[in-house]
Amino acid sequence: MLTKNKNIVKAILLMASSLTVMAGATIAPSLPQMSEVFKETPQAEFLSKLVLTLPALMIAIVSPVVGYIIDKFGRLKLLFVSLGLYAIGGTTGLYLNDLYGILVGRAILGIAVAGVMTTATTLIADYLEGEERNKFMGIQGAFMALGGMVFVGTGGRLADIGWRYPFLLYFFSLIVLPLVYVYLFEPKVKKAAQENLVNDNPPSNVYPRFLVNFVYLVTFLSMLLFYMVPVQIPFLLKELGIEKNSLAGLAIVVGTFMGTITSFNYRRIKARLSYVQIYALSFGLMGIGFCVVGVAQSYNVVLVGMAFGGLGMGFLLPNPSLWMMSLAPAKIRGRLIGGLTMAVFLGQFFSPIASEPIAKKWSLSIAFGAAGIIMLLMVIGFVFSNQYLMSRDRQWQQGLQARVTA
């Protein structure tokens, strides 16, 4: 629990969380221009989109290992290294003239983000609990959305100057690094976990596998669908005759701004709705937004769709993390949160792979409309499964509390 420098520690955790948002979306407005610059490279347009999503694949691969490392060896050392790698890998687009070289840098960035995101989320679970944790996770979701708005908006402006300039923003991790070194501390849970490995009762691998896997699956699907926004919106606007990079950035910013509003109010919504009901609300709003984008023939209508989509996504930022924190025993918290990080970024990586065939065969408008319909159908599933899933959650929480008090 935090007792000293509480507000400073929380601010640093929020800054570290914002790094995970800017990892991909910051350079989204540059993608069409980048594909033109490297048009002599085979499959330049697809590889340019991969520049955005390759970090997600690396994060998905590395996150489970990261979770194991921080459970066994502690949080902060890995966080220091990750923040340094973040700046090294993230800025390669500034000076490399080879698209494949930039992709290598993006892979390094992905490894760094895996360390930052898993460690920061685990530290939140270590430092905070109860209502304070619920409130902070809502603030974190809002801050990530706000950070996305600032970084994507700035990236769009910089992309109008030149496609390389948005890569400058990745130096932000070097501002966070000294603050982490001075103010963050290794939580006591590390020592407790190591002591319990000797006489482990209950076993450290006991957790509600069905619920955990459900959260992983929904998180993967949400990212698979929602990440069409930073990957495909710039190209959709180009199809509508809107060429300006800053307008593509503004469209994404509208969504992130609306997400900021809902994330700030997450705690109030959580007091009235279950985790599954919040999923239904989130996917309902996102589904409406994507359907609006799918039928849009003008920029303003796209903005309306982005606003609805952003409202839904704002709830999805804190919801799976909080549910996972409540399900994960302290001794394996890092590993389970590492799995959640993997689900997030695996969905992001596969997003263009899943949507590209539809866009090529028909259009991006149809791809967005299809994604919206899928999300609306998922809402029906959440409504009908809510009672069953939440009863299993209550059984687990009661059993966990009984073991703690025994």
Residue 175 domain-assigned (yes or no)? yes
The answer to whether residues 129 and 1 touch, using CB atoms and an 8 Å cutoff, is yes
Q: Provide the residue-wise pLDDT of the chain in tens; the chain has 406 residues.
A: 565 688 899 999 999 988 887 777 688 778 778 888 888 888 887 788 788 778 888 988 998 899 889 888 888 999 999 999 999 999 999 989 888 999 999 999 999 999 998 899 899 988 888 788 888 888 887 887 777 778 877 887 888 888 899 999 999 999 999 999 999 988 875 444 444 444 444 455 678 999 999 999 999 999 999 989 988 898 899 888 887 777 888 898 898 889 888 988 898 999 899 999 999 999 999 999 999 999 999 999 999 999 999 999 988 888 999 999 889 887 788 889 889 989 988 888 888 889 989 988 889 999 999 999 999 999 999 999 999 999 999 999 888 777 656 5
Q: How far is CA 171 from CA 12, 36, 47, 94, in A?
A: 16, 26, 24, 11
Q: What is the CATH number of the domain that holds 224?
A: 1.20.1250.20
Looking at the structure of the chain, the number of domains it has is: 1
Residue 356 domain-assigned (yes or no)? yes
What is the DSSP code string of 68-97? Answer: HHHHHH-SHHHHHHHHHHHHHHHTGGGT--
Residue 197 domain-assigned (yes or no)? no
pLDDT of residue 109: 95
Q: Please give the residue range of the domain that contains residue 386.
A: 6-191+203-405
Give rounded-to-5 percent helix, strand, coil for the chain.
Answer: 85, 0, 15
Question: pTM of this prediction?
Answer: 0.81
pLDDT of residue 231: 80
CA distance 358 to 201: 51
Give the CB-side neighbour count of residue 232, counting CA atoms within 13 A: 33
Residue 338 domain-assigned (yes or no)? yes
| Omega before 42 within 30 of 0, i.e. cis | no
Residue 1 domain-assigned (yes or no)? no
Residue 198 domain-assigned (yes or no)? no
Q: Is 8 exposed, middle or buried (0-12, 13-18, 19+ CB in 10 A)?
A: middle
The answer to whether residues 31 and 159 touch, using CB atoms and an 8 Å cutoff, is no
Residue 90 domain-assigned (yes or no)? yes
What is the CA angle 240-244-248, rounded to 5?
75
The answer to whether residues 9 and 116 touch, using CB atoms and an 8 Å cutoff, is no
Residue 261 domain-assigned (yes or no)? yes
- What does the buried/exposed string (b/e) look like for 183-215 if buried means 16 or more CB atoms within 10 Å of the residue's CB? ebeebebbeebeebeeeeeeebeebbeebbebb
pLDDT of residue 368: 96
Find all residues with CB under 8 Å of 265, minimum gap 6, and list them: 138
- Cβ atoms within 10 A of the Cβ of 65, count? 16
pLDDT of residue 298: 93
The answer to whether residues 134 and 126 touch, using CB atoms and an 8 Å cutoff, is no
CA distance 34 to 42: 13
